[in-house]
Amino acid sequence: MIRHVAAPLSEQIFYDLIIPPVGTAIWWLLSRGWAATVQGGSVSETTKRRQKIEFFVILIAAYVLMFSITIYGNLTR
């Protein structure tokens, strides 16, 4: 049986801080590109406002998820 070893806590925290903004930025670029394609090249102000709110919601959710996984992993060792 293969047993996986968790990364050191400092490395986990590094990933917790880096992955959410990078993933959210990629999501924002893809959603902005999709909106520009669907709206004929120019994104409306309503869509820009909605995407701004969605960006922060996804960013916060990603941080909560990442840190929750780290805390759970370290409490159940």
- 46-to-1, 8, 38, 49, 58 alpha-carbon distances in Å: 54, 44, 14, 5, 18
Q: Is residue 26 part of a domain?
A: yes
Q: Is residue 1 part of a domain?
A: no
pLDDT 10s digits, 24-34 = 999 999 999 99
- Sequence-ordered list of residues with C-beta below 8 angstroms from that of 42, at least 6 positions apart, any chain: 36
Do 24 and 4 form a contact (C-beta atoms < 8 A)?
no
d(CA 8, CA 14): 10
Q: Is residue 3 part of a domain?
A: no
Domain that holds residue 13: 9-75
pLDDT 10s digits, 22-75 = 999 999 999 999 999 999 989 999 999 999 999 999 999 999 999 999 999 888
Q: Is residue 51 part of a domain?
A: yes
Q: Is residue 59 part of a domain?
A: yes
Other CB atoms within 10 Å distance of the CB of residue 49: 10
Q: Give the pTM.
A: 0.85
Structural domain count of the chain: 1
Q: Is residue 35 part of a domain?
A: yes
